């Protein structure tokens, strides 16, 4: 079983976000980057499925050389090898296209992604990869089991759960519940230094979208304290100022 796991290099959630060049560029100065948590769930499940010689796990990232520490962490978690597409990820289509181009002749049985990256929260890449490779794709899954050449996945839907069987090959976007995050041990960290990391130049692809500018959320207002016995005042503030009802 050959598994490809797509990973993103994202800012830590505690990072203070700022922009440069008239709010058109994300300011990376002083930012701590991490392995996207949803991708880490996908990676953890892939490692579990491949344990005991049942398969191999390859991680792939579309990014510049600065993403390699994150890739090495994925290798420390348990991936067998890594691929870096040497390009700045312009948008979801660009990323999906590069991954699909790499994967199209590699005979992967499954391609796993996180449900979304925690920076742009687009949740587009998994579906795009499936479309580009003309194979089934399913998101957002909460459970993934494999029996032979068929996978069974659980999806949460409105008012219930959906259980789907999918033949290999397929693409799936994973969410919480699929696996627990794995903490690299010392052996994994040491072995990650020598595991193969292949750098591939990107394929040319038409740019379909462009970010014109970024905006930060409006600052939070001051807290207003209302006496416990003044329910009318609280209702007035919620209705006319907060506008929650």
State pLDDT tens for residues 106-125: 999 999 999 998 888 888 99
The three-state secondary structure class of 100 is helix
Averaged over 34-41, what is the pLDDT?
A: 94
User: Are residues 73 and 19 in contact, defined by beta-carbon separation less than 8 angstroms?
Assistant: no
Residue 74 burial (CB count, 10 A): 27
* pTM for this predicted structure: 0.85
pLDDT, one tens digit per residue, over 137-189 is 998 999 999 999 999 999 988 888 899 999 999 999 999 999 988 888 888 89
CA dihedral 94, 206, 28, 125 (to 10 degrees): -20
Q: What percent of the chain has pLDDT over 90?
A: 60
pLDDT in the model for residue 13: 84
Q: How much helix, strand and coil, in percent to the nearest 5, is found in the chain?
A: 30, 30, 45
CA dihedral 202, 204, 210, 215 (to 10 degrees): 0
User: Are residues 58 and 102 in contact, defined by beta-carbon separation less than 8 angstroms?
Assistant: no
Count of CA atoms in the C-beta half-sphere (13 A) of 3: 27
pLDDT in the model for residue 98: 97
Given a cut of 90, whether residue 218 has pLDDT beyond it is no
Q: How confident is the model at residue 103 (pLDDT cuts 50, 70, 90)?
A: very high
pLDDT in the model for residue 18: 86
pLDDT, one tens digit per residue, over 79-102 is 999 999 999 998 999 999 999 999
Look up residue 239 and give its two tokens. Answer: 């209705």
Q: Where are the domains of the chain?
A: 2-211
Positive or negative, the CA dihedral 26, 31, 35, 39 is negative
Overall fold of domain 2-211 = Rossmann fold (3.40.50)
Averaged over 191-220, what is the pLDDT?
A: 88
Buried b (16+ CB within 10 A) or exposed e, 110-137: bbbbbbbbbbeeebbbbbbbbebbebeb
Mean of the per-residue pLDDT values of the chain? 91
Cα–Cα distances in angstroms (integers) from residue 237 to residues 37, 102, 217, 230, 240, in the given order: 38, 56, 22, 11, 5
Residue 67: DSSP 8-state:
G
Which residue, 119, 113, 120, 115, is CA-closest to 99?
A: 113
């Amino acid at each position: 079983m050959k598994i490809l796991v797509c990973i993103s290099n994202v800012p830590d959630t505690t990072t203070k976000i700022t922009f440069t060049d008239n709010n058109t560029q994300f300011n990376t100065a002083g930012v701590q980057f991490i392995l996207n948590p949803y991708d880490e769930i996908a990676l953890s499940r892939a490692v579990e499925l491949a344990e005991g010689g049942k398969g191999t796990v390859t991680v792939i990232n579309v990014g510049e050389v600065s993403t390699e520490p994150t890739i090495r962490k994925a290798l420390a978690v348990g991936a067998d090898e890594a691929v870096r597409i040497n390009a700045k990820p312009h948008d979801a289509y660009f990323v999906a296209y590069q991954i699909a181009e790499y994967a199209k002749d590699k005979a992967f049985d499954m391609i796993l992604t996180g449900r979304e990256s925690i920076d742009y929260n687009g949740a587009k890449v998994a579906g795009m990869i499936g479309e580009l490779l003309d194979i089934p794709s399913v998101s957002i899954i909460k459970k993934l089991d494999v029996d032979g050449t068929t996978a069974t996945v659980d999806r949460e839907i409105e008012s219930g759960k959906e259980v789907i069987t999918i033949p290999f090959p397929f693409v799936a976007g994973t969410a919480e519940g699929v696996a627990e995050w794995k903490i690299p041990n010392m052996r994994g960290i040491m072995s990650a230094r020598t595991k193969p990391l292949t750098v591939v130049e990107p394929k040319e692809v038409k740019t379909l979208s462009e970010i014109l500018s970024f905006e930060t959320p409006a600052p939070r207002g001051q807290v207003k304290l209302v006496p416990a016995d003044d329910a009318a005042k609280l209702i007035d503030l919620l209705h006319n100022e907060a506008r929650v009802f």
